[in-house]
Amino acid sequence: MKRQQIFFPVSAAVALLVLPACTAQQAVSPDGQMVEFLRGECIAGLIDPVPEFSWVVHSKEKNAMQAAYQVRVASSRNLLESGKADVWDSGRVESDQSVNVSYGGAALQPRQTVYWKVKTWTNQGEESNWSAVQEFTAAEPDSGFTASRLPLEQTEIAPARIIRLSDSRYLVDFGKVAFGYLRLNLLGRANDDVVTIHFAEKGNDKGIDTNPGGTIRYYKVSQALNKGENKIDVHPPVDGRNTGRDAIPIPANIGVITPFRYVEIEDCPVTLRDNMIRQVAVHYPFDETAASLSSENDLLNQVWELCKYSMKATSFCGVYVDGDRERIPYEADAYINQLSHYAVDREYSIARYSHEYLLRHSTWPTEWKQHSVMLAWADWMYTGDTESLEKNYDTLKQHKTLEWRAREDGLLKTDGMANRNDIVDWPEGERDSYDRREVNTVINSFYYLNLCQMADMADALSRTDEAQEYRDKAAQVKVRFNEVLFDAQKGIYVDGEGSNHSALHANMLPLAAGLVPKEHIDSVADFVISRGMACSVYGAQYLLEGLYRAGRPQAALDLMTSEDKRSWMNMIRCGSTITMEAWDNQFKPNQDWNHAWGAAPGNIVARYLLGVRPLEPGFAKVLIQPQPASLGDVRGTVPTIRGPVTVIIKNAGGKFMLGVEIPANMRAKVGIPCRSEATVKLLLDGQPVDALAEGGYLFLDNIGSGKHMITAQ
């Protein structure tokens, strides 16, 4: 690491980089209110009788931190709006805490409805107006969960196109696949009229695919009409494949749903008009405006939009599931879903509920258990709340880390081929001929990551001795991992102890987990790049993470924008509007077209390309370390619990310009890519600054809130 003084004269080119204008009023109210991570004006069924409140602080000034807050809770809206708080009044509290502020009144009783609002003061001398009022009603506590959930929403979607195929046959395209049912308003000619309705995920301008293969959905339904007006909801038939004992049921008031984009109507008694038909999409509440991405690369934009929409569309159960074939939660699916959902919406309740559900309904693969630790760590880092962690820490320690299976030298010894629980990747053909051994490189990579995460979480719970024990175990594993599993002659890792084979997975996972010593990163990264996309859509999460962590952003960008058969563009080319379970039917003949575990770019773009990640729990401090590679123009907004972070990059003509907008009550560490051997000149908001040179980046630390321009040459 080297600290250097760097200068750059103000250039007119900086004017090209313009952040959106502030629309704040003189006294800016806090907004983005959440109780127990639930958004909305009226919340029902809050299971915690002593809930936590969160809000977004606003300021017209730079470098603004919350200096104090006041929360009022009342038994009626009128009382609260008149300035009375008969349930609880925090008074003015000198604190910068704006997330997970605990309610301090008497424990709420089931069915008790209360109303709350908040005001803030900043270190810039600003006193806000009171926020809007949020209403919530308490429910019976649930000993198994800390996470309350919102009810599912049903959104009517108008047709994108209606195509008349013949006199009484119509094709309706709703533009995107959604989980739901059909709403019709038709005039029947007689009481014996019957229309035939075809639901389909796959189709084109000529009609629908009635034999799409895999688990791509097609259903045919006959619907009787009465003479005169018929306002009816048409549901698909029950499918035994996704309504079994372990499947998550759809609420009875919604009824049977299926993923579909296209509808064909036979024997339609009238000329079908736009206002006669709607797709009713079922989904968890979703804020379409919370995140954005715009770049010069249209392929990247399309892939990101595919992943963003996948988060909304696949939330139809109110818990993360593996897709429509089974509708069963799995830990690895849930982890990728969690990260990508965080990246496109300020939403934390469904991820926490899914994590806690899986602690009670664990699945069979070895690595999936390890993902429970990862789910817990991400929940804590993104929310800053330790409530779930406190409740479930011992479960993670006793059942998910697998540390009881460690040998004396620290490495895990698992099933190998014995019970086939070491999954590596799925389906089997996506393992790059991986040679599974009892000491498995992939599983030990996850194990090292789990140990590091457990150390962090133990510290958060003030279990200082356990935190040190986990750090010591992690250090031991890292040493033995590289002694036992690294092939020094080839400069890459083998698949397991005693193996001579080196699969993609045995090398991308050590990169992603931070196990590769600095001197071997290049050889391992070169090998990973040489294997291309020799993994599944699940494995792609760790392939992309590994490449970014190795400083190979161009290789990662090339994979995300590839048009090969193993690519997200192939999913779009096939006609899917939700990420698929596999790259193509060729690789998984029974796949479905609605798997959120295929949406890795949704979080990779936010976390690595734009470079926005939490450095401290609850985004008290954020890392902004973009890796745009060859992209010369990219703009994005990433939601956080404290408000959105905006990143704008201009990279052309030897100049790198980075615009950031950081919400109030947050600090940032900002990294600017540079060549370590070059002399780089840097300006922050027009002033020369000191920067810390490290790993090909110049870092500016403790940047305060507001809009900032950093220029480098």
pLDDT band for position 33 (cuts 50, 70, 90): very high
pLDDT band for position 511 (cuts 50, 70, 90): very high
Q: Is the pLDDT of residue 286 over 50?
A: yes
Q: Is the pLDDT of residue 19 over 50?
A: no
Please say whether the beta carbons of 454 and 447 come within 8 A: no
pLDDT band for position 142 (cuts 50, 70, 90): confident
Percent with pLDDT over 90 in the chain? 90
Residue 675: its pLDDT value, please? Answer: 66
Q: What are phi and psi for residue 405, nearest 5 degrees?
A: -100, 10
Q: Is the pLDDT of residue 416 over 80?
A: no
Which pLDDT tens digit goes with each residue over 43-63? Answer: 999 999 999 999 999 999 999
Residue 6: its pLDDT value, please? Answer: 33
For residue 657, what are the contacts with CB-CB under 8 A and spacing of at least 6?
13, 14, 16, 17, 649, 650, 651, 709, 710, 711, 712
Using CA atoms, how far residue 414 sits from 402, 417, 427, 441, 514, in Å, is 9, 9, 20, 11, 21
Sole residue written with tokens 């952040």: 19
Q: Is the pLDDT of residue 141 over 90?
A: no
Q: Is the pLDDT of residue 16 over 80?
A: no
Q: What CATH number does the domain located at 153-283 have?
A: 2.60.120.260
pLDDT band for position 191 (cuts 50, 70, 90): confident
Which pLDDT tens digit goes with each residue over 383-406? Answer: 999 999 999 999 999 999 999 999
Mean pLDDT, to the nearest integer, of 119-142?
Answer: 95
Cis, peptide link before residue 427, omega less than 30° from 0: yes
Residue 20: its pLDDT value, please? Answer: 47
Residue 9: its pLDDT value, please? Answer: 32
Using CA atoms, how far residue 116 sits from 99, 132, 312, 314, 615, in Å, is 15, 9, 28, 32, 30
CATH topology of domain 2-21+618-712: Maltose phosphorylase, domain 3 (2.60.420)
pLDDT band for position 170 (cuts 50, 70, 90): very high
Residue 27: its pLDDT value, please? Answer: 56
Mean pLDDT, to the nearest integer, of 360-381?
Answer: 97
**CATH architecture of the region 31-138:** Sandwich (2.60)
Least confident of 253-267, 524-538, 677-691: 677-691
Looking at the DSSP bridge assignments, the partners of residue 668 are 622, 703
State the pTM of this model.
Answer: 0.95
Percent with pLDDT over 70 in the chain? 95
User: Exposed, middle or buried, 167 (CB in 10 Å: 0-12/13-18/19+)?
Assistant: exposed
**Four-way CATH pick for 292-611: 1.10.3720.10, 1.50.10.10, 3.40.640.10, 1.20.5.510:** 1.50.10.10
Which pLDDT tens digit goes with each residue over 543-554? Answer: 999 999 999 999
Domain boundaries, the chain: 2-21+618-712, 31-138, 153-283, 292-611
Q: What is the mean pLDDT of the chain?
A: 94
Q: Is the pLDDT of residue 676 over 80?
A: no
Longest C-alpha distance within the chain, in Å? Answer: 85
For 402, left (φ over 0), alpha (ψ -120 to 50), or beta?
A: left
Please say whether the beta carbons of 250 and 257 come within 8 A: yes
Name the nearest CA neighbour of 295 among 561, 547, 654, 550.
Answer: 561
* Tokens, residue 593: 């077209």
Cα–Cα distance measured from residue 132 to residue 121, given in angstroms and rounded to the nearest whole number: 16
Please say whether the beta carbons of 72 and 91 come within 8 A: no
Residue 2: its pLDDT value, please? Answer: 40
Which pLDDT tens digit goes with each residue over 222-247? Answer: 999 999 999 999 999 999 989 999 99
